[in-house]
Structures are given as C-alpha cells and as structure tokens.
C-alpha cells in the first residue's frame, strides 16, 4: 500500500511537467516588422493642411499593430489670426504610440482600425516676431481600406479625426487644431 501511495504522489508531482504553458502569445504566433508612410489632409482651422507621417513597429500575425508614429505639417496653413503668422513646415508635429487591428489581411481588399496617441509641439510666431511653443496631447483614430499589391506591400485610403488638446492661446485654440483627416498610405511588412 505504501508503494502505491508513493507512486501516486510522485506521479501527481510530475503531472505538471506534462502540461503546456499557457500564454497570450505562443510559439505559433509570428511577428513581422512594418513600416507605413502616409500623406493626409487635415482640417486645421478651416484650412486643409498637408500632414506627412511615418510609422514603424511590430505586426503580430499580420493583424495586431503595435509601434510608434510621427506626423508633421508639410505645408503652409492660414491661421486666420490678426496676431499670428501662418503655420509652416514643421511648425506642428506630433508622435506617439501607434496601435491597430487589420481585418482579414490575406484578402485582396481589407480594412483596418488604427489609433495614434501621444504628444507633440506647436510653434507659433506672432506678427511682432515673438516665438512661442506649446506642448500638445493628441489622439488620432482612423479607419482604413487597403488593397494588397504583393504579400508584403499594400496601398490604402484612410479617414479619421485628429483631436488636439493644448493650452489654448488667445489666437489659436485646440478646436482650431482638431478636425477630420483623409489620407493615402503605403504599408510595408518584412522590410
């Protein structure tokens, strides 16, 4: 009886060795690197502003996006202010965490939901020549439609909203910087 009891005890202690370890990401999952380049038109203060962006990071199972992104003003934007000069190249920039999900990435045409959340800076110059700089908090959710050109390259269109929260100045408010966006992008994997 003692032998059976000891055998059962040893077998019971050894049983966890046979169990598989559970985890969110398993060895069957695969990570790819991705890069994305986009050109957007954003409604800033009632004026269409060209904004360019570059994104890079990891792509889990060709679906989950986790990376970083950087966007910057590429052209001139009229501020409609008697106190400020127009915004120019790099006067507005923002960067942050880029997350998202790609639906059915193996289909020829597929869709994505993405979000860039982070911070940035707005540089303004008054008509009298005084420069000021403001720190921004921003969130930019987008919906996109893509078409696969090759296994590792797709082209897409997106639409979203740029929400900017800044310490409002007398001449330029957060609501002037926030607005709808539309754009075109190139998306590469395994670069």
* 30-189 CATH pick, 3.40.50.1100, 3.40.50.150, 3.20.20.70, 2.40.160.20: 2.40.160.20
On the question of pLDDT at 2 being above 90, the answer is no
On the question of pLDDT at 114 being above 60, the answer is yes
Six token digits for residue 119: 């911070």
Average pLDDT score over the chain: 85
| Band of residue 89 on the pLDDT scale cut at 50, 70, 90 | confident
The pLDDT of residue 30: 84
Q: Which letter does DSSP use for residue 128 in this model?
A: T
Domain ranges of the chain: 30-189
Q: Give 129-147 as a DSSP string.
A: S-EEEEEEEEEEEEEEEEE
Segment holding 174, helix H or strand E: helix 174-177
| Band of residue 158 on the pLDDT scale cut at 50, 70, 90 | very high
Q: Return the number of other C-beta atoms located less than 10 Å from residue 140's C-beta.
A: 25
Say what the alpha-carbon torsion angle 73, 74, 75, 80 is, to the nearest 10 degrees: 0
Q: Which residue has the higher pLDDT, 113 or 29?
A: 113
The pLDDT of residue 19: 58
| Band of residue 113 on the pLDDT scale cut at 50, 70, 90 | very high
11-51: per-residue pLDDT in tens? 666 656 555 666 666 677 788 999 999 999 998 877 888 99
Three-state DSSP at 78 gives: coil
Cα–Cα distance between 101 and 61 in angstroms, integer?
10
| Band of residue 10 on the pLDDT scale cut at 50, 70, 90 | low
Cα–Cα distance between 115 and 141 in angstroms, integer?
4
On the question of pLDDT at 168 being above 60, the answer is yes
Cα–Cα distance between 164 and 159 in angstroms, integer?
16
On the question of pLDDT at 115 being above 60, the answer is yes
The answer to whether 174 and 181 are in contact (CB under 8 A) is no
Residue with tokens 């055998």: 7
Backbone angles phi, psi at 176, to 5 degrees: -70, -30
Backbone angles phi, psi at 52, to 5 degrees: -105, 145
């Amino acid at each position: 009886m003692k032998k059976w009891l000891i055998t059962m005890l040893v077998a019971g202690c050894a049983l966890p060795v046979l169990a598989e370890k559970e985890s969110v990401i398993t060895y069957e999952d695969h990570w790819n690197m991705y890069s994305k380049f986009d050109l957007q038109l954003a409604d800033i203060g009632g004026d269409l502003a060209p904004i360019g962006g570059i994104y890079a990071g990891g792509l889990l199972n060709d679906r989950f996006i986790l990376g970083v992104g950087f966007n910057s003003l590429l052209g001139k934007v009229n501020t409609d202010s008697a106190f400020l000069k127009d915004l120019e190249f790099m006067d507005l920039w923002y960067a942050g965490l880029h997350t998202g999900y790609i639906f059915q990435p193996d289909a020829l045409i597929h869709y994505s939901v993405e979000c860039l959340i982070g911070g940035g800076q707005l540089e303004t110059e008054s008509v009298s020549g005084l420069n000021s700089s403001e720190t921004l908090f921003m969130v930019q959710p987008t919906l996109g439609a893509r078409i696969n050109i090759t296994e590792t390259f797709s082209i897409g269109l997106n639409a979203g909203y740029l929400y900017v929260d800044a310490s409002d100045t007398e001449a330029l408010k957060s609501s002037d910087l926030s607005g709808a966006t539309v754009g075109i992008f190139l998306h590469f994997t395994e670069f």
